[in-house]
Amino acid sequence: MTTQEKVLSTQKRENPWLNIIFNIALPVLILSKGTEFLKVNATQALIIAMLFPLSYGLNDLIKTKKINWISVLGLLNVAFTGGFALLGKTGIWFAFKEAAFPLLIGVFVWASSFTKKPALGLFLLNPQAFQIDKMMEALDTTDKAKQFDDLVKKSTQYLSFSFLISATLNFLLAYKIFTPIDLSLAAEVQSQILNDQIAQMTKWSFVVILIPSMLILFALIIYFGKKFKSITGHALDSYFVKN
């Protein structure tokens, strides 16, 4: 099966943004603000936060009979963040944790370029954004299909480097934010300081990490579009889904 057929087979996949929201964004928000807004203790906030990626991943497993790796990563992220908090770990522990997860995602993305379903299909070649079936019709020769396969593989590998950059920025940001907490302070005060640090990390990561990542993705889309046009003779934006 060629890459274009594999991409076409993903048309009924769920919205990837729901993956990110339920497996990453909501759990982190609950961990950082749950004790304040939900009026629960740190342990309860951790359990509630873990329920989101756990339930989402189990639902995906039941429906598709496949493991949702974003749910797995989200669950591990919540477990480590909450676990460190409960164990009283601070400072450099969180810096390494914050760097490890985007790095791990980058490894998965890079490795996926050698599989039947490159991760580019999740981040770019999504049927909610593009008319995938019509794109595949433009690949009407074996040579075009081969060039497209190579383009998808190379673009997926380029995408993986954006996570390496995110991992580096994550570490530097977390190292600055997660400063050691005075262990002589009361447990509740320590917990509040750590929650504030997690909230700060969540807030600034959108600026320091998300914006560069989006710029890299935008540059990748431009690169992919130019190469796609050189292969098919058609502009990529002509295949946008029109609402």
Q: What pLDDT digit, counting tens, does each position of 159-196 carry?
A: 898 888 888 988 999 899 888 888 788 877 877 787 77
Task: Write the burial class of residue 97 (CB in 10 Å: 0-12 exposed, 13-18 middle, 19+ buried).
Answer: buried
As a whole number of Å, the end-to-end CA separation of the chain is 31
* Residue 6 pLDDT > 60: no
pLDDT score, position 14: 56
Is residue 16 very low, low, confident or very high in pLDDT (cuts 50, 70, 90)? Answer: low
Rounded to an integer, the average pLDDT of 200-220 is 80
Does the structure show a pLDDT above 90 at 154? Answer: yes
How much of the chain, in percent, has pLDDT values that exceed 90?
Answer: 12
Query: Buried (b) or exposed (e) across 150-186, using 16+ Cβ within 10 A?
Result: ebbbbbbbbbbebbbebbebbbebbbebbeebeeeee
Banded model confidence at residue 13, pLDDT cuts 50, 70, 90: low
For residue 8, what pLDDT is reported? 46
Q: Is the pLDDT of residue 70 over 80?
A: no
* Model confidence at 205: pLDDT above 80: no
What is the per-residue pLDDT across 109-135, written as a single tens digit (0 to 9) for each? 899 899 888 888 776 777 777 888 888
CA–CA gap between residue 4 and residue 2 (Å, rounded): 5
Average pLDDT of the segment spanning 88-113 = 84
Per-residue burial over 115-131, b = 16 or more CB atoms within 10 Å of its CB, e = otherwise: eeebbbbbbbbbbeebe
Contacts of residues 12-16 at CB distance under 8 Å and 24 or more positions apart, as own/partner, are 12/127, 13/122, 13/126, 13/127, 14/60, 15/128, 16/122, 16/123, 16/126
Q: For residue 83, what pLDDT is reported?
A: 76
- pLDDT at residue 81 tops 60: yes
Q: Which of 1-5, 32-36, 73-77, 162-166 has the highest mean pLDDT?
A: 162-166
CB burial of residue 31 (10 Å; 0-12, 13-18, 19+): buried
Average pLDDT over residues 13-42: 74
What's the number of CA atoms in the CB half-sphere (13 Å) around residue 226?
6
